[in-house]
Amino acid sequence: MADTGIFATTAEVQRKAGANASATSNVEAYINDFMTQAEATINVMTRYNWSDAYSGLNVDVKGILKEAASNLAAIYVIQFDFSNFNSRSEAEDMVTILRDGFNRNIQLLQQIAQQDFTNGA
């Protein structure tokens, strides 16, 4: 099976999910599903279809999309099963850090989408 996500790879998500992530959810099949969900969420939250425009984006915007999508997909991997982590609070801390990064990137992408819309008017 190959990566089917547009914004980030399985390996990028696995690094963020950490060494204690569930062996069930931290595999390509699950991560491909999580990436599809993450990409759709990003597109809807920013009111712009980054997936369709991806090939024409500059490297900086692609980097923001990569971080946002891999953060959200890693959250899905972690929340699937907390039992392998040293403590529940370890997993919750990881989710909080990833969520904060995701939210920051959504704000940036919303600004970029708004700027692109305004410049195109």
- In angstroms, the CA 102 to CA 109 distance is 10
Residue 49 lies in a domain: yes
Residue 85 lies in a domain: yes
Which of the four pLDDT bands, split at 50, 70 and 90, describes residue 4?
A: confident
Residue 94 lies in a domain: yes
Residue 18 lies in a domain: yes
Note if the pTM is more than 0.85. Answer: yes
pLDDT at 119: 59
Residue in the block written with tokens 């991560």: 31
- CA end-to-end span of the chain, whole Å? 42
Residue 48 lies in a domain: yes
Q: What is the tally of structural domains in the chain?
A: 1
Residue 82 lies in a domain: yes
Q: Mean of the pLDDT values across residues 74-103?
A: 97
- Number of helices followed by number of strands (H, E) in the chain: 5, 0
Residue 50 lies in a domain: yes
- In which domain, by residue range, is 74 found? 10-116
Dihedral sign, Cα of residue 57, residue 118, residue 52, residue 44: positive
Q: E strands of the chain, at which residues? A: none
